[in-house]
Structure 1
């Protein structure tokens, strides 16, 4: 199944809408805890950190060493970071704005 068709599914759309209903960090933590295994949550966090380091210009090997991510993960995150959907890029911009008091 391709990515665009996946979001046409009712259950996937419901998942997307569910995230939009969360009001604060505690809500997100509770939902992630119920939805994912601890390993999955840590994997998501690792991928976001990989994206951040790559966005800052870190070399792949350094990103692997700093995060413990596999070369495959670093490569996939890099592809997504520079890809057409822009999810990582959008979140990284918002995180930077928040950290710099602009949000």
Structure 2
């Protein structure tokens, strides 16, 4: 935010993350790069951002995540005044989840239609 952190090293790190193709690869990378505490803190902050985005109250976020009010405030500040990184990730994640739900619904509808057609064919052959 106030301090510019972008340089050739941070760019290289972002390029490395962007080069990874699967959740497993990204998880392996983060486990190697971060300490357990850092990895958990990143995950916690993202969950705080998700909950704030959904309009959940601070007290409930503290209870659900164990995050301090200082952490919640910091994440909120990034959501409001930051570079839209959380917002972009949250939006992309929502789209991906909606696409999966939509795909499942289509598969289920197709299955139900085929099942009804099979039942109809069986009845007609009786």
TM-score normalised by the chain length of structure 1: 0.89
Structure 1 stretches of 4+ moved >6 Å: none
Equivalence map 1:1-103=2 (5 Å):
2-3=3-4, 6-7=5-6, 9-101=7-99
CA RMSD of aligned residues (A): 1.4
Gaps of 5+ in 1: none
CA distance in 1, matches of 2:65, 2:28: 25
Structure number with greater CO (CA < 8 Å, separation at least 6) is 2
Higher helix content, 1 or 2: 2
> Could you tell me how far 1:82 is from its partner in structure 2?
1.5
Whichever of the two has the greater Rg, that structure is 2
TM-score normalised by the chain length of structure 2: 0.74
Q: May I ask how many residue pairs the two structures share in their alignment?
A: 99
Deviations 1:27-50 (A, max 9, x none): 101111110011111111110110
Gaps of 5+ in 2: 101-126
